[in-house]
């Protein structure tokens, strides 16, 4: 399966509804795309917005840093030194090159550089993660509210840094690197939840990071682990108040992703149940904010997914009702003329639904 960036909204091809014969029913032409849980916005592919490093590096100096890989532009992971030129990249990034991308020299072989890698790992431990020792040394009674805030604040920045590194690695298809950074990040947030209790902020961050881990596992074809991560993501996101559009969207997408994985696995009943849960989350969200067109679109997409499985399960009448409800929703949805992207999605979902309906009538 082609890895799809979980962090950049624009690229969600697996959610495209217009695909011809959808193994994957329906789509997620998401109006709201997932955002970095730390408020650190994913750099667009266009590079229009340059990412800011929470540690104060700007993207340029960071890219050129001796601890990072020129190919994925993230901190080195499982690094490999080219022989003979000695330039260093992540192993997963350099393996497909015959010539060094930096100097053009032939790569005769690559060798591990454990010293450099351990420097990178120490850098992450020291700068990218929460300083546990500091907190552990503080007498419990002395941890005042103020200190906790500072501590949380630091952890937020550090968490954002790890997510940034993961995003870059994932986009460069260095999924193991992304997984490793996200795993540390999830571990740190869990740690914090144990210390400070589960605030909704921490739950939403953890839910999002676990969802990204699910995406990593899915990208490397590890469906069982992906399901586990998505389920855990759902577990945390469900605890949160349902009035946050970003959170309900992430929740419904995670449910759909589990549904997709069950669908591919041939477990249609399970797929239907996850799609249906996603549909309910979206219906509730649309009720809460009936003026947000993307929410209505999301509901229509979910209807399509559920109906598609219903058809596969032989429940043709229920399927038809679902397709019809989706069509009705979309036909009564009026968009502002400036919502060109939304209108395109509306059209393509509508076309999909109408084709589904026609397919039956043709039979």
Please tell me whether residue 94 binds Zn ion under the rule CB under 5 A: no
Question: Which of 105, 245 has the CB closer to Zn ion?
Answer: 105
Please tell me the count of residues contacting Zn ion according to CB under 5 A. 11
**Alpha-carbon distance 247 to 224, whole Å?**
24
**Alpha-carbon distance 7 to 214, whole Å?**
12
**Alpha-carbon distance 258 to 273, whole Å?**
10
- Closest approach, Cβ 79 to Zn ion, in A, equals 8
Question: Which two structure tokens, joined as six digits, stand for 4?
Answer: 């799809």
List the one residue out of 251, 178, 180, 266 whose CA is nearest residue 219: 178
In the set 32, 79, 80, 100, which binds Zn ion (CB under 5 A)? 100
Please tell me whether residue 85 binds Zn ion under the rule CB under 5 A: yes
Please tell me whether residue 67 binds Zn ion under the rule CB under 5 A: no
Q: Is 283 exposed, middle or buried (0-12, 13-18, 19+ CB in 10 A)?
A: middle
Task: Kindly provide the residue ranges of all beta strands, DSSP E only, lying in the chain, ordered along the sequence.
Answer: 79-83, 88-90, 109-112
Question: Which of 220, 242 has the CB closer to Zn ion?
Answer: 220
Please tell me whether residue 71 binds Zn ion under the rule CB under 5 A: yes
Please tell me whether residue 103 binds Zn ion under the rule CB under 5 A: yes
Which residue shows structure tokens 């700007």?
A: 58
Question: Which of 69, 216 has the CB closer to Zn ion?
Answer: 69
Please tell me whether residue 69 binds Zn ion under the rule CB under 5 A: yes
- Closest approach, Cβ 123 to Zn ion, in A, equals 15
In the set 72, 75, 253, 303, which binds Zn ion (CB under 5 A)? 72
Question: Which two structure tokens, joined as six digits, stand for 287?
Answer: 């009720």
- Counting DSSP H helices and E strands in the chain, the numbers are 13, 3
Please tell me whether residue 1 binds Zn ion under the rule CB under 5 A: no
- Closest approach, Cβ 89 to Zn ion, in A, equals 5
Question: Which of 93, 240 has the CB closer to Zn ion?
Answer: 93
**Which residues sit opposite 79 in a β-bridge?**
90
The secondary element (H helix, E strand) that includes residue 269 is helix 268-288
Task: Confirm if 25 and 305 have CB atoms less than 8 A apart.
Answer: yes
- Closest approach, Cβ 174 to Zn ion, in A, equals 5
**Alpha-carbon distance 77 to 89, whole Å?**
8
Please tell me whether residue 83 binds Zn ion under the rule CB under 5 A: no
- Binding to Zn ion (CB under 5 A) within 264-323 occurs at none
**Alpha-carbon distance 8 to 33, whole Å?**
8
Task: Kindly provide the residue ranges of all beta strands, DSSP E only, lying in 113-161, ordered along the sequence.
Answer: none
Please tell me whether residue 91 binds Zn ion under the rule CB under 5 A: no
Please tell me whether residue 27 binds Zn ion under the rule CB under 5 A: no
Task: Confirm if 129 and 191 have CB atoms less than 8 A apart.
Answer: no
Question: Which of 174, 250 has the CB closer to Zn ion?
Answer: 174
Please tell me whether residue 87 binds Zn ion under the rule CB under 5 A: yes
Which 3 state secondary structure label does DSSP give 52? strand
**Alpha-carbon distance 225 to 257, whole Å?**
12
Site string for Zn ion, 225-254 (x = CB under 5 A): ------------------------------
Mutual orientation of helices 245-264 and 293-312 as an angle, nearest 10°? Answer: 20
In the set 27, 36, 88, 93, which binds Zn ion (CB under 5 A)? 93
Question: Which of 83, 242 has the CB closer to Zn ion?
Answer: 83
In the set 102, 112, 149, 358, which binds Zn ion (CB under 5 A)? 102
Site string for Zn ion, 104-143 (x = CB under 5 A): -x--------------------------------------
Question: Which of 47, 197 has the CB closer to Zn ion?
Answer: 47
Query: With CB under 5 A as the contact rule, which of the stretches 36-44, 92-100, 124-132, 142-150 interacts with Zn ion?
Result: 92-100
Q: What's the residue count for the chain?
A: 363
- Closest approach, Cβ 73 to Zn ion, in A, equals 7
- Footprint on this chain of Zn ion (rule: CB under 5 A): 69, 71-72, 85, 87, 90, 93, 100, 102-103, 105
């Amino acid at each position: 399966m082609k890895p799809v960036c979980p962090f950049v909204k624009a690229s969600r091809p697996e959610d495209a509804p217009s695909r011809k014969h959808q193994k994957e029913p329906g789509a997620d032409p998401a109006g709201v795309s997932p955002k970095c849980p730390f408020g650190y916005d994913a750099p667009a592919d266009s590079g229009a917005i340059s990412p800011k490093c929470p540690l104060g590096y700007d993207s340029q100096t960071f890219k050129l840093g001796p601890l990072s890989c020129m190919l994925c532009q993230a901190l080195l992971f499982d690094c490999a030194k080219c022989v003979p030129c000695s330039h260093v990249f992540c192993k997963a990034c350099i393996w497909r090159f015959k010539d060094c991308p930096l100097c053009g020299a032939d790569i005769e072989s690559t060798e591990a550089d454990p010293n450099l890698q351990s420097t990178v790992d120490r850098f992450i431990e020291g700068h990218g993660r929460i300083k546990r020792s500091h907190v552990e040394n503080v007498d419990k009674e002395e941890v005042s509210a103020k200190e906790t805030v500072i501590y949380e604040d630091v952890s937020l920045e550090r968490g954002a840094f790890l997510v940034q590194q993961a995003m870059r690695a994932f986009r460069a298809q260095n999924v193991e690197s992304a997984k490793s950074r996200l795993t540390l990040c999830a571990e740190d947030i869990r740690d914090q939840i144990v210390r400070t209790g589960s605030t909704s902020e921490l739950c939403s961050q953890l839910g999002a990071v676990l969802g990204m881990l699910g995406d990593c596992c899915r990208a490397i074809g590890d469906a069982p682990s992906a399901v586990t991560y998505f389920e855990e993501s759902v577990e945390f996101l469900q605890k949160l108040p349902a009035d946050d559009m970003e959170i309900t969207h992430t929740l419904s997408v995670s449910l759909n992703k589990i549904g997709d994985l069950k669908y591919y696995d041939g477990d249609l009943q399970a797929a239907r149940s996850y799609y249906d849960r996603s549909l309910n989350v979206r219906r509730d969200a649309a009720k809460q904010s009936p003026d947000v067109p993307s929410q209505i679109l999301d509901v229509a997409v979910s209807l399509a997914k559920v109906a598609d499985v219903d058809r596969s399960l032989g429940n043709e009448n229920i399927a038809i009702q679902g397709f019809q409800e989706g069509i009705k929703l979309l036909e009564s949805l009026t968009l502002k003329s400036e919502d060109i992207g939304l209108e395109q999605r509306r059209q393509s979902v509508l076309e999909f639904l109408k084709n589904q309906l026609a397919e039956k009538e043709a039979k």
